[in-house]
Structure 1
């Protein structure tokens, strides 16, 4: 049975049963919680929540869905798809469990000639939620024997969207594919053999925030008991078409066939090739559907997902042997396959094809340039005997050449290498931070770099800054707003490329030098930043302060001596802290990133858990002991194997050729491969003050410190602060900690006493509330605003106290607070009142709307909060009316 026929039969079955056929919603909805529509019920959420009145009591649809969490699994397994179709039927209070189960069972098991799918009932299994006796009994009545009904927990059989919204227990239908696909024992034993094809959700509750499938609060019941079901069209298709997986079905296999034609490779021969064929089939369909719904390739959000899918298609096709553009052919096949169900793919084909083909053309340019750089990087890493591509190289590929990190990871794996992902993420985070802090953040990576190509091809800028702070140089080029210009005038910002330069270009964690470019004819240029292009060409970001700068001029480039001094202190200080960390924590404290600038350093390292105060003190002490020892700083160039034999450590983010630069401080104390600038002896670093350490990610800690005069200024400020506190407390400085500890203890005692006094005052009002209770039928009712200043926690205590004073009488206690514009509330019902049919959770629905509140709980106690204090009186009136109704 073809997929379009499966869709048609599903919709026809439910339309005959009185359902309204609703077209699929767009994959993009105005829901901040969702990147794309990922379930069939998404467009109906306002109806389930009671926020809107549905124009129909029952509905049916086949919703197009995209889930992006499984992108890496696509192709690797045969079960994952990014795009899929979810056929569903929905009831908004018209019918519940029995109706949904009977309709699903009849469609699955009815004969093909009668409009059904013709599944053998003997091969169908079902699961129900742990305590859902009703559902189990209905399945029995429909003919499912006990041995093919399994009960499962919340993680498997309680459905929600993963975000706050409607939820409820569910029952799933599975098809037994037979012993050749796995072990016996039903879905609990093997979900490859027993394949889920339909999920019936009995949507009756609203969930709150939480994580995972079973870690969230149930806020309360929905206004109505609803039905939301989902049948996986692709899964039913491959079962009814007699193939092994979704990629063999009529809507995906033709894409693989086209890929075979375009690449010359065969599907089903090599496992690695099969993965690529499946990636192409899945992603081509998803991309066409996304573009059809208005998504365009971009660098973030939905656009980035689409770009990633399209680039994975191109990359897979290239690996399969395609040497020409392929995207147009794949989009054409997808359109022909899917248009019978989604005619917009045909009517809007030209736009969809243009977007996809345009992205392929751009990426092919990226691949041409970036692959060359990647291959050079691989050769360099292997020549060093290393196994990992640095985070800096991965970042350059991503930021300069448009390579997504997942593409770099794939290519590295194919080359037998790993990638320093932590380093890459660190650089990405640092870039985002700089972009926020500095309006002039580095933009090279996002610009057209062809203007620099001539100079990249020419060779590296000669860096003279290790030996001198001023260098005579020739101006090779002036670049303004991405365009090469012959002259730069006073007041203009310009990028300057020199043949030689003493100014350090940002790399290896050290930020760029500041300095100037001058000439004998009155030229004065302030150098604000220096960046590298393609790791070899120095670009001086500058402002012309006076005179005129012309391409070809001979100039004097010079480093700001004060800046360089601070920069060398910061960089050498980083080496000291690194060595101290390894002394104190051991060799497992592996570097994960660094940044140093004049007077400041930070060092990221792999470590689980926060450092103790003693460890931080030890790191600072070891660092300063090394400063006091006035170690000589030696630098020399050697080959990589010799450097490794000496024990030199490779610094994060550095790239190493056949020859490497070693920075040695105090012999065995610190020896690292490093291309940065350093002091001549450790004493020149000055004092090192560790500011603290913190977490910057899972398993990564960060130490920050001041060095040199910045360290002195920080300590002087701390000393002044301590002296001020000592003066206020009228004690010597050394007694301040003890005195502060005493004051903190006294404050804690006072706060506890204040809390006891406050609670006593709150509870003293309990008797008044009891005396003022109203008799409503057989029930005593306390429905009032809480005393002023009573918070949510105190409110619960007060309500419990009032409830307890009623003893065995039937009573209802509801208090609504008013704190900071919020309306916390607690409702309590005595056992005798519960016996009359009154439940605390049900009362919330009476007064909750008036205060824009939500909440829930058990029959004896419910709580929550609202956001509209103006509705308190109306809410209490509604509550009294509801209790009067329930109490007769």
Structure 2
């Protein structure tokens, strides 16, 4: 039975038993504690924790999940993977233990022709919590499982909690006996390889007052409403029903592994009688490829793009690990164009949007591979040189690559630290990880210093949960720019306070507000909140928890106390400009898709009064003609005065209607669809907008650039700011026209081209004169050459100059020496603060064993760097320009040592 069919049967079974089918949430989820959704219950946490009222009494889902905590272990065994799917059924105060157990048993044991999974009931082993006599009795007396097949286990195995005070409860896990060929007899307590766990039924019944560890906690009492949370691993069930050993061999994963094996000429499991347990490097690399290609496909599909931090770094790491695994298998050509389509073909049955969106997905993935191949070419050479140097200095002892060298590889060349660790380890060299992390921390601290107050002020959500329990904010930003309300809460430094003093900065929660909270790429409104005797200047508005709007303010007058009547007033000019920018973003997005095609999908945006930027999937720079066309299409849409409207509908209805969703956003069942000109622009959006496109005003594209593999960014000014921008451009153009004494701006290209030609001619003439000056003293340098045990040696330090100057002078001097006597020339120069040295030898010197490459390595070592080259001509460099004289002396000594040792 294919995995997609197992998934379909799950949803059908529970839907037929009054469960609402809830679509999988995106892997990027609005939870400050999670990088990705890592469990099937994550989207249901607010209901299970009692924070929100569930819209249905029972639900079911197949949730996409990614866990990256043990990414280094992926491939080393068949047990570790990153992407997986969790089938779940949930009850919110509806059925409890008996209902959950009966539903589970009915699905897994019903014959396949009747819509079940058809597992052999005699091979199913339930486990229960040690003290859960009720669950034990249900399995034995209601279901009919013999008592000897029901195992009692302790808190570590069969009690669920979140690791913090709150709900918890015993659980019952289901295991399947795969047979004696997989291990010893005796049930899950004896061998969990033979007895594979595939389903966990959590009976959420206790209110925990303290949680010290998974197995050590205090139960304060029963929960007021008992819930059910179950999770069945889809990949595990697939391996059971497909008769394979593990997730790498199921129908959604193995085709990628098989394709990688075909491309590299390897045979999976050829080195072991049991491929799944093989730790041979080839099998490990093949499993890495299979896992990471599928996980990357799903992450990009949900809007993640490669980057250097957070989610983007995880994706980048997986893509690059997959590419490098192929290289280690001996395949050095581009790999992802052969592998990613295979994964998409297997996954599209469950996620058809992957095929629809594959143009964007593949652009991003292939762009990242191309970038990584360039990174490898640069980084490997640098890393190999550094590793060889530390090994040489270690002189056979333990060698460690310095943290600053690893950081330079990462910061300058984009070489991931995990790749540095792997490649260094392969050559027997350790890496100073603590030094690297310290430098990374310094860099991040600098980059985030300005944003810390704003973005991290809401990191601790506990205080906001308490305020949310008082009721949701009545949010009227769509209907009005002002609102009368009451101060419901005041917060300073993460703690609730009773009042804010004059001049103080803090957060204010009102029961009703007209302020737009930052979301969907649109920054928060500006304005004031007036309280009796005080004016609060609003400097930020956020939604730290769902349903709660929080204003960051500075107080003028006051004090302000909880319970004060308040009047919220948004700055109307600010809001109008913000609406222009947000609507302008939709217009530019539609124009991009019209000009470039439907694969140019938005992957992120930011807009504020007068300015917008939009990131979209595309893997090459836009030409000037294309940029002009996009700008023209955008402004024509503005000129046409297209109607702008917003309406609410269910998410499936919106998708069927053709509305575009922003990647990475989490949407409720009811979503808001904003239209501009009907189907021309139809997007899911919670932002504020103008009423007609003409109100956007002018749109002027100001820039286009790359922001990552397969992702481009356009920037534009909007409305009056666009006109001001064009006015500045016109003034600048007029100034240049005057400076070049042109009659009109149309003459500028010709005038500038003439000027550039003259500049180039002048540069060539200057370079010619410089060369003449450089070589003018060549005869004197030859005549003044020193004698080093019979070898003529000319050395010169040019000081500051161009790197090519040293090579030019060295080769000229060597030619002047001829070949009658051995001769060596060494020239140093400092270009842009970094010293370099060139050494040249004639034929006679080389016959005496004096070689340029060996001499350069000696000199470069003095300069604090490295180098090499051919016996007749070599070049090196370093970091310390004060050592150029010492480097030339080192060359002279090395010549003497070589000659005297003959």
- TM bracket (short chain): 0.5 to 0.7
Identify the residue that residue 814 of structure 2 maps to in structure 1. 803
Identify the residue that residue 346 of structure 1 maps to in structure 2. none
Identify the residue that residue 280 of structure 1 maps to in structure 2. none
Determine whether 1:858 maps to 2:870: yes
Q: What is the RMSD computed on CA atoms of the aligned residues?
A: 4.8
In the aligned structure 2, how far is the partner of 1:849 from the partner of 1:607? 45
1:769 to 772, 776, 781: 781
Shift of 1:819: 5.0
Identify the residue that residue 4 of structure 1 maps to in structure 2. none
1:451 to 423, 446, 463: 463
The answer for unaligned runs of 5 or more in structure 2 is 1-66, 82-153, 160-171, 184-195, 205-210, 234-297, 320-346, 365-443
Identify the residue that residue 686 of structure 2 maps to in structure 1. 675
Alpha carbons 1:592, 1:604 under 8 Å: kept: yes
Alignment partner of 2:839: what SS?
A: strand
In the aligned structure 2, how far is the partner of 1:445 from the partner of 1:587? 37
Determine whether 1:500 maps to 2:499: no
Identify the residue that residue 740 of structure 1 maps to in structure 2. 752
Determine whether 1:816 maps to 2:828: yes
Alignment partner of 1:734: what SS?
A: helix
CA 1:641–1:70 in structure 2 vs 1: closer, same or farther (change >3 Å)? closer
Shift of 1:830: 1.6
Alpha carbons 1:399, 1:446 under 8 Å: kept: no
Shift of 1:876: 3.7
Identify the residue that residue 38 of structure 1 maps to in structure 2. none
Determine whether 1:442 maps to 2:455: yes
Alignment partner of 2:577: what SS?
A: helix
Q: Counterparts in 2 of 1:256-405, with a 5 A limit?
A: none
Determine whether 1:650 maps to 2:652: no
In the aligned structure 1, how far is the partner of 2:750 from the partner of 2:493? 61
Alpha carbons 2:484, 2:568 under 8 Å: kept: yes
Alpha carbons 1:526, 1:542 under 8 Å: kept: yes
Identify the residue that residue 485 of structure 2 maps to in structure 1. 473
868-877 or 449-458, which deviates more: 868-877
List per-residue Cα deviations over 1:361-396 (Å, max 9, x = no partner).
99x9xxx9xxx99999x9xxxxxxxx989979999x
In the aligned structure 2, how far is the partner of 1:493 from the partner of 1:559? 19
Alignment partner of 2:462: what SS?
A: helix
CA 1:534–1:393 in structure 2 vs 1: closer, same or farther (change >3 Å)? farther
Identify the residue that residue 791 of structure 1 maps to in structure 2. 802
List per-residue Cα deviations over 1:702-735 (Å, max 9, x = no partner).
1110101111111111111111111112212232
Alignment partner of 1:730: what SS?
A: coil
Alpha carbons 1:390, 1:654 under 8 Å: kept: no
In the aligned structure 2, how far is the partner of 1:560 from the partner of 1:528? 12
Determine whether 1:757 maps to 2:769: yes
1:830 to 837, 842, 846: 842
List per-residue Cα deviations over 1:603-626 (Å, max 9, x = no partner).
001111111111111111111111
- How many correspondences in the alignment? 539
List per-residue Cα deviations over 1:671-720 (Å, max 9, x = no partner).
22211110111111111010111111111111110101111111111111
Alpha carbons 2:175, 2:198 under 8 Å: kept: no
Alpha carbons 2:528, 2:570 under 8 Å: kept: yes
List per-residue Cα deviations over 1:484-517 (Å, max 9, x = no partner).
2222232222211122211111111111111211
In the aligned structure 2, how far is the partner of 1:801 from the partner of 1:758? 14
Identify the residue that residue 73 of structure 2 maps to in structure 1. 74
Alpha carbons 2:492, 2:505 under 8 Å: kept: yes
2:540 to 522, 525, 529: 529
Alignment partner of 1:695: what SS?
A: strand
Identify the residue that residue 617 of structure 1 maps to in structure 2. 628
In the aligned structure 2, how far is the partner of 1:70 from the partner of 1:808? 65
Identify the residue that residue 721 of structure 1 maps to in structure 2. 732
List per-residue Cα deviations over 1:144-193 (Å, max 9, x = no partner).
xxxxxxxxxxxxxxxxxxxxxxxxxxxxxxxxxxxxxxxxxxxxxxxxxx
Alpha carbons 2:155, 2:215 under 8 Å: kept: no
Shift of 1:259: 8.5
In the aligned structure 2, how far is the partner of 1:883 from the partner of 1:405? 52
CA 1:393–1:453 in structure 2 vs 1: closer, same or farther (change >3 Å)? farther
1:569 to 580, 605, 609: 580
Shift of 1:320: 7.5
In the aligned structure 2, how far is the partner of 1:525 from the partner of 1:373? 46
CA 1:754–1:868 in structure 2 vs 1: closer, same or farther (change >3 Å)? same
Alpha carbons 1:468, 1:502 under 8 Å: kept: yes
CA 1:557–1:524 in structure 2 vs 1: closer, same or farther (change >3 Å)? same
In the aligned structure 2, how far is the partner of 1:664 from the partner of 1:829? 74
Shift of 1:851: 4.6
Identify the residue that residue 98 of structure 1 maps to in structure 2. none
Alpha carbons 1:259, 1:317 under 8 Å: kept: no
624-633 or 474-483, which deviates more: 474-483
Alignment partner of 1:533: what SS?
A: coil
Alignment partner of 1:795: what SS?
A: helix
Identify the residue that residue 524 of structure 2 maps to in structure 1. 512
Identify the residue that residue 560 of structure 1 maps to in structure 2. 571
Alpha carbons 1:508, 1:653 under 8 Å: kept: no
Alignment partner of 2:675: what SS?
A: strand
In the aligned structure 2, how far is the partner of 1:408 from the partner of 1:458? 44
CA 1:648–1:523 in structure 2 vs 1: closer, same or farther (change >3 Å)? same
In the aligned structure 1, how far is the partner of 2:560 from the partner of 2:863? 69
Determine whether 1:540 maps to 2:540: no
Shift of 1:846: 5.1
In the aligned structure 1, how far is the partner of 2:652 from the partner of 2:756? 58
In the aligned structure 2, how far is the partner of 1:70 from the partner of 1:557? 45
2:715 to 694, 697, 704: 704
In the aligned structure 2, how far is the partner of 1:684 from the partner of 1:659? 28
Shift of 1:627: 1.0
Alpha carbons 1:785, 1:872 under 8 Å: kept: no
In the aligned structure 1, how far is the partner of 2:588 from the partner of 2:734? 29
1:583 to 580, 584, 594: 594
The answer for unaligned runs of 5 or more in structure 1 is 1-67, 83-256, 275-315, 325-355, 379-386, 424-430
1:887 to 877, 886, 899: 899
List per-residue Cα deviations over 1:551-574 (Å, max 9, x = no partner).
223221121101101110110000
Alpha carbons 1:74, 1:80 under 8 Å: kept: no
Shift of 1:881: 3.9
Shift of 1:541: 1.1
CA 1:884–1:645 in structure 2 vs 1: closer, same or farther (change >3 Å)? closer
List per-residue Cα deviations over 1:238-283 (Å, max 9, x = no partner).
xxxxxxxxxxxxxxxxxxx99889998889959xx99xxxxxxxxx
Alignment partner of 1:580: what SS?
A: helix
List per-residue Cα deviations over 1:516-545 (Å, max 9, x = no partner).
1114x3332111111002232111111221
CA 1:820–1:361 in structure 2 vs 1: closer, same or farther (change >3 Å)? farther
Determine whether 1:463 maps to 2:462: no
List per-residue Cα deviations over 1:20-56 (Å, max 9, x = no partner).
xxxxxxxxxxxxxxxxxxxxxxxxxxxxxxxxxxxxx
In the aligned structure 2, how far is the partner of 1:633 from the partner of 1:321? 48
1:638 to 643, 646, 649: 649
CA 1:606–1:878 in structure 2 vs 1: closer, same or farther (change >3 Å)? closer
Shift of 1:866: 4.2
In the aligned structure 2, how far is the partner of 1:654 from the partner of 1:81? 28
CA 1:733–1:806 in structure 2 vs 1: closer, same or farther (change >3 Å)? same
CA 1:471–1:406 in structure 2 vs 1: closer, same or farther (change >3 Å)? farther
Alpha carbons 1:70, 1:80 under 8 Å: kept: no
Alignment partner of 2:472: what SS?
A: coil
Alignment partner of 1:562: what SS?
A: helix
In the aligned structure 1, how far is the partner of 2:704 from the partner of 2:228? 36
Shift of 1:843: 2.4
In the aligned structure 1, how far is the partner of 2:496 from the partner of 2:197? 37
Alignment partner of 1:467: what SS?
A: coil
Shift of 1:629: 1.2
